[in-house]
Amino acid sequence: MTSVRICVCGDESTGKSSLIATFVKGVFTPGKIQPVLPAVTLPPNIGNAGTTTIVDTSARPQDRTTLRKEIRKSNVILLVYSDHYSYERVALFWMPYFRSLGVNLPVVVCSNKSDLTSEGSFSQVAEEEMKPVMAEFREIDTCIRTSAKLNINVVEAILLCQNAVAYPLAPLFDYKEGRLKPACVDALRRVFYLCDKDHDGFLNDEELRTLEVKVSGKASTDEEISSIKKAINKSMPDADLETGIDLHAFLQMNKLYAEGGNHGNIWKILRKHRYTDSLSLEDSLLRPKFDVPQYSSAELSPAGYEFFVDLFLLFDRNKDGVLDRDELEELFAPTPGLPKPWIEASFPTSTVRNEAGYITLQGWLAQWSMTTFLDPKTTLEYLAYLGFEPSNPKDSTISALKITKPRKRRRRLDKVERTVVHCYVVGAPGAGKSSLLDAFLKIPFDGLHRPTIQPRRAVDSVELPGGKQCYLILEELALHEHAILENQAKLDACDLICYAYDSSDPDSFSHIVELRAKYPQLDELPAVYTALKADRDKATQRTELQPDAYTAELNVSAPLHVSVKWSSISELFVALAEAATHPSSAFPKVEEPSPDRTNLYIAVTAVACVGVAAAMIWKRSSTGN
């Protein structure tokens, strides 16, 4: 809890010291008290703060230096007035004075001595008269009537000061404009989104109760919900609240909280949803500590996959098995928009879509699998925005992810325990790499050649022999090929190299030969060779060795001859996924050396010698007898 230091200011004889004395003693002490009381410190169990210190001050000009020091040390100002003159001084002197000090503190304005009647020396200033002052000076958090003599609202005035620090109004409400601030509206819009579990656009009574349980630990009664709806209806006569509270009504409810000085309710809602004082989500929620060891990778856990499946089904309003543009926009409403890596990868062209270009469930899960593999921190950030809740409240969004076992020393691994693998597709320009990625995503063949400038990725699921599913990420390196292959960290993040060449172009295979000669570190990765455009006439490659002889000399499998026009192209993707998950199968085959029989020969000879010696000893002993 935050410690609070309250500086009590105001003109002389407004009752500042009496107010403090009544609060401390619980009763009014008649008679004259000292002009300035010593500072009072309250223990943390009083009110809504940690330790609270109340500091009395003098308004005399000769005490102005002390006043300035105390104001600068404080967290909140309790500004007291008690008659029309001191009321006028709030706007004419005190508020401008606070501003001149360069401090930015919340101010609670206290109309004291409210026990005096209009027949006396003081006529109570109506609450409406404070609204223009509050509109002019945004520092004013709220105002309250008190009476130190009758002990009316004295405790409440101190609680308001505590709340002004714990629940500041300034970030939430613009008094001058009379509306919630844009950042507050954005935060509440996300809260509404998360609380609207069925996403029908309304918070029904049960969803309102769930929200109240989350905020205060207890469910709202029917009477309390009815009271909320009546208050909303009073300010929005045309609102139809039978179905529930829609977003507009929800924002209006919170606007009423702010106008009525109950903005603590707004803060309680926002903080339970992990918002900071600056109305941004907590950094620990968006960016929890999550490190992926070298040679390991990040994947979605079963809980993560379940969350994204449920999200897809929930926003597929027309149940057509895809998310159209409107449904995607609605789904990403509580986030900053599409993840940056998706935009860079030209989503949704990076994954599986239907004929109309809308993402399918298969493509949706593949996209998130790729995002988690390549940039797990983006997935964690969006899990937070989208409201992922772990089954164990003590867990964080990290429970939606898992880390795979490291695949270090891959030559010796027969199997890699992971369900997402990454393959670089390299080859000469025009070899057909882009068409290969299109075929992977079941995009119809387009014979027009378009040079690829930026690296391009495609992801889809592949069914391995035995029925196991694997997400395969194919990445065409394009003009960045050399820069990526020179980067060891980029190579360490890759599971497989697919060397692709145009079997109808005599100059295509030489590119692969040159790459392997220039970057010997590529030999540390499993590899699959493929001859694309096999539907065309095969050309003799202008290399020292033809592809089959080249791979034979390397003792690796011969190139797979495929065409994006053939349905059998899917066999290549299975072969790539198998090579990535069983890397030993994609390295040069090592011939088993002939068994070393030297020790066997020595043993046999030794046994024979022992036998001969034993026979000679037995013969001599028999002759002697």
Residue-wise pLDDT for 224-255, tens only, equals 999 999 999 999 988 888 889 999 999 999 99
Q: Is residue 409 part of a domain?
A: no
610: pLDDT strictly greater than 70: no
Q: What is the pTM of this model?
A: 0.81
> What pairing do the DSSP bridges indicate for beta strands 469-476 and 456-463?
antiparallel
11: pLDDT strictly greater than 90: yes
Q: Is residue 549 part of a domain?
A: yes
Distance CA 396, CA 23 (A): 43
Q: Is residue 266 part of a domain?
A: yes
* Crossing angle for the helix pair 263-272 and 247-259, to the nearest 10 degrees: 130
Q: Which residue has the tokens 């009544």?
A: 22
Same domain, 30 and 158: yes
Domain boundary among 348, 369, 404: 404
Distance CA 129, CA 411 (A): 81
Residue type, 447: G
Q: Which residue has the tokens 């709806």?
A: 229
Q: What mean pLDDT is predicted for residues 382-397?
A: 91
275: pLDDT strictly greater than 90: yes
* Crossing angle for the helix pair 302-315 and 376-386, to the nearest 10 degrees: 50
Same domain, 388 and 471: no
Distance CA 614, CA 625 (A): 17
Phi, psi of 415 (to 5 degrees): -150, 140
Which residues are CB-neighbours of 512 under 8 A, at least 6 positions away?
Answer: 426, 427, 428, 499, 501, 529
Same domain, 547 and 607: no
> What pairing do the DSSP bridges indicate for beta strands 179-180 and 173-174?
antiparallel
Same domain, 260 and 320: no
Q: Which domain, by its residues, includes 368?
A: 292-404
Q: Sorting pLDDT into bands at 50, 70 and 90, what band is 138?
A: confident
Q: Is residue 285 part of a domain?
A: no
Q: Sorting pLDDT into bands at 50, 70 and 90, what band is 591?
A: low
| Count of the separate structural domains present in the chain | 5
Q: What CATH number is attached to the domain comprising 112? A: 3.40.50.300
Tokens of 623: 């002759």
DSSP state of 508: S
Q: Is residue 254 part of a domain?
A: yes
Same domain, 577 and 604: no
Same domain, 91 and 121: yes
DSSP state of 332: T
Residue 574 · residue 516 · CB < 8 Å? no
- Torsion angle, CA of 132/133/138/143, rounded to 10 degrees? -110
Q: What mean pLDDT is predicted for residues 89-115?
A: 92
Length of the chain, in residues = 625
Same domain, 581 and 598: no
Same domain, 260 and 314: no
Tokens of 546: 């033809």
Same domain, 612 and 475: no
Tokens of 396: 């964080």
Q: Where are the beta strands (DSSP E) in 464-578?
A: 469-476, 496-502, 527-532, 560-561
DSSP state of 90: I
Please give the pLDDT value at position 490: 92
Q: Give the model confidence (pLDDT) of 340-370 as tens digits.
A: 999 988 899 999 999 999 999 999 999 999 9
Same domain, 425 and 566: yes
Q: Is residue 189 part of a domain?
A: yes
DSSP line for 384-411:
HHHT---SSTTS-GGGGEEEPPP--SGG
Same domain, 349 and 458: no
- Tell me which of 379 and 173 has the higher pLDDT: 379
Please give the pLDDT value at position 123: 40
Q: What mean pLDDT is predicted for residues 463-470?
A: 90
Q: Is residue 415 part of a domain?
A: no
Q: Is residue 412 part of a domain?
A: no
**What is the maximum span of the chain, computed from C-alpha positions, in angstroms?**
152
Which residues are CB-neighbours of 374 under 8 A, at least 6 positions away?
Answer: 341, 422, 473, 493
Q: How does the average pLDDT of the chain come out, rounded?
A: 88
Distance CA 476, CA 350 (A): 12
Domain boundary among 145, 166, 187: 166
Distance CA 123, CA 145 (A): 12
